[in-house]
Amino acid sequence: MRRLARDPQAIITTTLILIIVAAGFLGPIFLAVDPNQADLRSANALPGTPGHPLGADQSGRDILARLLASAQTSAISGLIGAGVALVVGVTMGLIGGYFGRRTSAVTEWVFNLVMTFPGVLLLIVLTPVTGGDYRFTMLIFGFMLSPTIFRITRNLVMGTKQELFVDAARVSGLSNTRILGRHVLSAVRGPIIVATAFLIGTAIATQAGLAFLGIGSSAVPSFGSMVGEGFTNLTRRPLQFLWPSLVLGILTASLVLLGNALRDALEGLRTVPPRRGRTESPAEPVSMGEEDEAPLLRIRHLAIGYPSTTGEIEEVVHGVDLDVRAGEILGLVGESGSGKTQTAFAVLGLLPPEAVITRGSVQLNGRELLGLSGEELRTYRGKTIAYIPQEPMSNLDPSYRVGSQLVESLRATSTLSNREAKERVLALLARVGIPDPQRVFRMYPFEISGGMAQRVLIAGAVASRPALLIADEPTTALDVTVQAEILDLLRDLQAELGMAVLLVTHNFGVVADLCESMAVMQKGRIVETGKVRQTFAEPQADYTRTLLDSILDEDTVRTDPPVAPRDHKEVAR
């Protein structure tokens, strides 16, 4: 809005549109002249004739009164046409873009069909159905315009749903309707607002075009019919043609120019975070026979694959077994591509749609998670399982203030009122070490640093006191000093809340610093599990030894015992 207020093009065009629309609705009240009242004595009266400031047409109808009534007809046409196109196009675009491939294909097919309708011709053919009522005609025209909006929305949604902040919203337990209505719609609203200005212009021009052709009720004054009548009288009274052409021209041109100004104002307003294609994918439940002393999270024989070009499923995770006990911090380590994130995302139900869980089981508190519906998963995510991502910035929706995002997630997973949730969030922000919580609460994500964004996400993750926190490389995107602070914060919060943490990392330093147990992954398999101190002292697998050697060569490892802060020994190489 601020950018628009500084743009002369936007100011001038908005003013012109408002003047014409206001004149259309208020003018007839003040003028109190029937635009359809013919008076042959005033036929072709010149401008300035008493009672006819802009003259009268061939039938002696007052031109000013007809112009004002036509402005009203245009405004209503624009609103109905664009309104229907928006409601239908945006709703179906959100559905077609957000939900699975089948929904997308069906909606695409329907809108492709609508696009084949021969627009204006169909409206003419349908005149007996519409009874010449321009409002009904515009309603149908709105449907015909909706494919444009559908396509814009669907394409934008398809891109936006890959954004990490949509994953983050899903993980925080928000429903699809909530995510669509708030996070996705807000991300796609810019181009839709721009398109709306053009749609209104198109609807107005089409209504005028139809009236020019004499389609529709002659009792409804319209710029189109005025232009048509003025045209037949062009040589004798050119002003009768000029007035409606001028106002219609100004109105439609203003709408197009306003659309351009809106586009300029909205461009660059939103920083687009990097994409990562991960979405929900239910999998077949697999029941396991073995029994164990019940860990909080119990993964058995988990195998994940992707269809190859030949159509066969190529496994990337080959039968992972992993236990995370209540209150334990377990480090899942391994080089890049070893399958750590795939394993963690399988627990969160965030694997991409093309991923196939070929076998295995993921149980939380004895309840099988694989195969749960989206709705059922939501009862866990954000409450029992929370998630801290690798790139904090990309996991916050750039369109909303930090505080409102945290309040929204908290309210989705609790019964707190808005005020209570706000108080809780402020307390949490203070707890995670944010110096001025009130101020940060009101800030947008782009106004805070990466470290602060990670603190914000940690605050959001622990807000519902989860039993299990999955942290995927939570410090990788941060600079070294901030990394240490975030690790300390995680350690303190874990001790305070007694939650279990599955910490995905490739950094043995982080494992040494924070974890009690560790599991080492290589090429989609767990090659070693054990207590951190013991594994560091006597690694069993050659791969662990190699990794330890290579990493210790590069890094300084803080080897303070887990959950026993403040006596950090720095052990260099």
Q: Which residues bind ligand ATP (CB under 6 A)?
A: 306, 316, 334, 336-342, 352, 506
Q: 206: helix, coil or strand?
A: helix
* Residue 181 vs 353, nearer CB to ligand ATP: 353
Q: Which is nearer to ligand ATP, 434 or 511 (CB)?
A: 511
Starting at the edge strand found earlier in the chain, the sheet holding 385-388 runs: 385-388, 468-472, 500-504, 329-333, 517-522, 525-531
Cβ at position 509, least distance to ligand ATP in Å: 15
Phi and psi for 94 in degrees, rounded to 5?
Answer: -65, -45
- Judged by CB, which is closer to ligand ATP: 98, or 345? 345
Find the shortest distance in angstroms from Cβ 305 to ligand ATP.
8
Minimum distance from CB of 394 to ligand ATP (Å)? 14
CB of 167 to ligand ATP, least distance (A): 14
* CB of 343 vs ligand ATP, minimal distance in Å: 7
Backbone angles phi, psi at 277, to 5 degrees: -75, 80
Contact residues for 357 (Cβ-Cβ < 8 A; gap 6+)? 281, 283, 284, 302, 303, 304, 346, 351, 370
User: Given phi > 0 = left and psi -120 to 50 = alpha, else beta, which region is 231?
Assistant: alpha
State the minimum distance, in angstroms, from the CB of residue 137 to ligand ATP. 48
* Spatial distance between the Cα atoms of 416 and 431, rounded to a whole number of angstroms: 19
Strands 329-333 and 517-522: what pairing? Answer: parallel
Angle, in degrees to the nearest 10, between helices 223-232 and 63-98: 130
- Please name the amino acid found at residue 494: Q
If you ran DSSP here, which 8-state letter would residue 52 be given? B
Closer Cβ to ligand ATP, 73 or 341, answer by number: 341
In the bound state with ligand ATP, the residue whose beta carbon lies nearer, of 83 and 352, is 352
Q: Which one, 504 or 557, has the nearer CB to ligand ATP?
A: 504
Least spacing, CB of residue 523 vs ligand ATP, in Å = 8
Q: Which helix (H) or strand (E) holds 318?
A: strand 313-324
- Which DSSP state fits 348? H
Three-state helix/strand/coil letters over 9-41: HHHHHHHHHHHHHHHHHHHHHHHCCCCCCCCHH
Whichever of 241 and 345 has its CB closer to ligand ATP, that residue is: 345
* CB contact at 8 A, 348 and 380: no
Picking from 450, 439, 441, 444, the residue whose alpha carbon sits closest to that of residue 406 is 441
| Shorter beta-carbon distance to ligand ATP: residue 282 or 352 | 352
Min dist CB 277 to ligand ATP, Å, is: 6
